[in-house]
Structure 1
Amino acid sequence: MLDNMPRGTICIEDMEIGMRRYIRKEITDRDIEMFAEVSTDHNPVHLDDDYAQDTRFHGRIAHGMLTASLISAVIGEQLPGHGTVYMSQSLKFMAPVRPGDVVYAEVEVKEINHHKRRVTLDCHCAVGDTVVLKGEALVLAPSNKLD
């Protein structure tokens, strides 16, 4: 299941403080397995039911960076969108995400520096009413003006 807003680009000249975009995605076993392959992070807390049952989480959890990658998807596909370049990202992991959870990932424009084409975005991910990740991103936004 994937639910999101239209993809594309919002140039810095068209951005406003408070503008938001989101994606909603169910995290599947396949997502976790594919992320383990791509990242080479095969920690058994993500992949082994028996091992994970004996951890503080009492079951398997998704990689934190898999959840964080949904923030990247919103930034790269919606706000600002295509042509955006990440400069920095802070993240605080608040709660685990489990296989089958539906994650709502949202970014909101916090600050705009038109001169440097930099945009600061508040970021968060939630499962239901539980915030599972929060942070802030700084990006170089696309412009409709030639440099």
Structure 2
Amino acid sequence: MLDDHTHNLPRGTICIEDIEIGMLRSLTKEITHHDIELFAEVTTDRNPVHLDESYAQDTIFGGRIAHGMLTAGLVSAVIGEQLPGHGTVYLGQSLKFLAPVRPGDVVTAEVEVTEIDHSKRRVIMQTRCLVDGKKVLTGEATVLAPSRKFD
């Protein structure tokens, strides 16, 4: 369920037959303390840099930060809900974490099609997350896109 701080394009599916180089989709979400706490609970990653402000103050970050994989999960949401969308199979994802995401930051996750292999239904996309226009995460995703044709 989307909260007031999440803005998505319509959800659904774009089949391999309709995907084109340069297609771009995105979502924007504010990362909250609650999001970080839920992610820690689900993954069991309770590193105090994410959960304990006094501990985090003494780290190189100078305060609490979101889990990198929480930020990366926004990329997964764009791929699974928008481009290609429902029916997509994730095959791989590379990630580079460039800057911390803090509670209260508004993250925009973007996915852009860079290569298409129609015969294998494979799509390669550049992935990135930005806060205030600054890249905090970059990577590349390889997915198997849904098709209108039956195998």
- TM-score of the pair, normalised by structure 1: 0.99
Deviation at 1:4, TM superposition (A): 1.3
Equivalent position of 2:59 in the other structure: 55
User: 1:25 maps to what in 2?
Assistant: 29
Aligned-pair CA distance for 1:130: 1.1
> What residue is the counterpart of 1:77 in the other structure?
81
Shift of 1:77: 0.2
Amino acid aligned to 1:37: E
Match in the other structure for 1:43 = 47
Give distance in 2, aligned partners of 1:98 and 1:44.
14
Aligned partner letter, 2:97: F
Aligned residue runs from structure 1 range 73-112, under 5 A: 73-112=77-116
Q: Aligned to 2:84, what secondary structure does the other structure show?
A: coil
* Aligned-CA RMSD value: 0.4
Match of 2:144 in 1: 140
1:127 to 125, 128, 131: 131
Structure 1, unaligned runs of 5 or more? none
Aligned residues between the structures: 147
Structure 2 Cα separation of the partners of residues 130 and 140 of structure 1: 29
SS at match of 2:114: strand
Q: Deviating runs (4+, > 4 A) in structure 1?
A: none
- Identity in percent: 72
1:118 maps to what in 2?
Answer: 122
- Could you tell me how far apart the structure 1 residues matched to 2:24 and 2:8 are? 12
Instruction: Report the alpha carbon displacement of residue 36 of structure 1 after superposing the two structures with TM.
Output: 0.1
Q: Secondary structure at the match of 1:71?
A: helix
Shift of 1:110: 0.5
The CA deviation string for residues 22-71 of structure 1, in whole angstroms up to 9 with x for no partner, is: 00000000000000001100000000000000000000000000000000
Q: Secondary structure at the match of 1:50?
A: helix
Q: CA–CA distance in 2 between the matches of 1:73 and 1:129?
A: 20
